[in-house]
């Protein structure tokens, strides 16, 4: 798989295998090898459509180390697959919820974000805050090296603090503008805290 001539062919074979019969091993490989690390599925039939990434795939040794580390760090953790509203409703006073929704200024075509309702998320966060559940939300901050602040319909008084976190050059723009230095494409995420 590491030889450049075989990379795309091997990727496409595994993608076809996954689309014929979805399974965890193929999906894991595709998540680590696809373009930008962003897996896309057609809404109509669930077909995984993301092309092969431009980067070299992670080596099996490095991947194995990461899996072992992840295994150790998540021992005893229970993972649930459920709507965020249900997960947040199941919290208790003093719990901390971290939200990382699709970013409105850069991810509207990704993750099924077309149907995501940011204002509804704000309502669910307000409910958590009323119940003394702490919420941290990361979302669009600035683009174009700080010259553009991403305007969002943030309800007044919902968050106690707003912190801009420097993230370096835009990953999305880096893939779109391959080969350019992107000095004007530095981004910052906005971290909003209800506490």
- % of the chain at pLDDT higher than 70: 79
Average pLDDT in the 133-151 region?
80
Domain count, the chain: 2
16 within 8 A of 22, measured Cβ to Cβ: no
Tell whether 117 and 69 lie within a shared domain.
no
Tell whether 8 and 97 lie within a shared domain.
no
- The CATH number for 11's domain is 1.10.1020.10
Average pLDDT in the 49-67 region?
84
Is 179's pLDDT higher than 70? no
Q: What is the DSSP-derived secondary structure letter of residue 82?
A: -
Dist CA 115 CA 104 (whole Å): 11
Is 141's pLDDT higher than 90? no
Tell whether 60 and 97 lie within a shared domain.
no
| Domain span holding position 38 | 4-73
Average pLDDT in the 110-138 region?
87
Is 37's pLDDT higher than 50? yes
Q: What is the pLDDT of residue 12?
A: 93
Tell whether 107 and 53 lie within a shared domain.
no
Tell whether 187 and 159 lie within a shared domain.
yes
Nearest to 15 by CA among 1, 3, 33: 33
Dist CA 47 CA 163 (whole Å): 38
Is 159's pLDDT higher than 50? yes
Tell whether 36 and 66 lie within a shared domain.
yes
Tell whether 69 and 42 lie within a shared domain.
yes
Average pLDDT in the 47-73 region?
87
- The answer to whether residue 78 sits within a structural domain is no
Q: What is the pLDDT of residue 185?
A: 61
Is 32's pLDDT higher than 70? yes
Over the stretch 88-108, which tens digit does the pLDDT of each residue have? 999 999 999 999 987 775 545
Is 4's pLDDT higher than 80? no
Tell whether 176 and 119 lie within a shared domain.
yes
Tell whether 66 and 135 lie within a shared domain.
no
Dist CA 114 CA 122 (whole Å): 17
Q: What is the CA radius of gyration of the chain?
A: 19
SS3 135: strand
More confident residue, 129 or 11: 129
For the entire predicted model, the pTM comes to 0.70
Is 115's pLDDT higher than 90? no
Q: What is the pLDDT of residue 174?
A: 47
Average pLDDT in the 17-24 region?
95
Q: Could you give the residue ranges of the DSSP H alpha helices within 3-141? A: 4-20, 24-33, 60-73, 84-89, 118-130
- The answer to whether residue 14 sits within a structural domain is yes
């Amino acid at each position: 798989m590491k030889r450049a001539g075989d990379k795309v062919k091997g990727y496409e074979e595994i993608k076809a295998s996954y689309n014929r019969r979805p399974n965890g091993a193929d999906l894991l490989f595709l998540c680590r090898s696809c373009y930008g690390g962003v897996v896309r599925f057609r809404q109509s039939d669930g077909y995984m459509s993301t092309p092969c990434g431009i980067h070299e795939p992670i080596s099996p040794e490095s991947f194995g180390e990461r899996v072992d580390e992840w295994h150790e760090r998540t021992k005893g953790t229970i993972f649930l697959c459920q709507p965020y509203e249900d997960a947040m409703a199941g919290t208790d006073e003093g719990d901390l919820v971290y939200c990382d929704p699709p970013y409105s200024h850069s991810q509207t075509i990704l993750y099924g974000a077309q149907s995501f309702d940011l204002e509804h998320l704000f309502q669910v966060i307000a409910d958590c805050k009323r119940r003394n559940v702490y919420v941290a939300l990361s979302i669009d901050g600035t683009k174009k090296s700080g010259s553009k602040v991403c305007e969002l319909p943030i309800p007044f008084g919902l968050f106690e603090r707003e912190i801009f976190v420097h993230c370096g050059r835009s990953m999305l723009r880096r893939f779109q503008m391959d080969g350019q230095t992107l000095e004007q494409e530095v981004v910052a995420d906005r971290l909003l805290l209800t506490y």
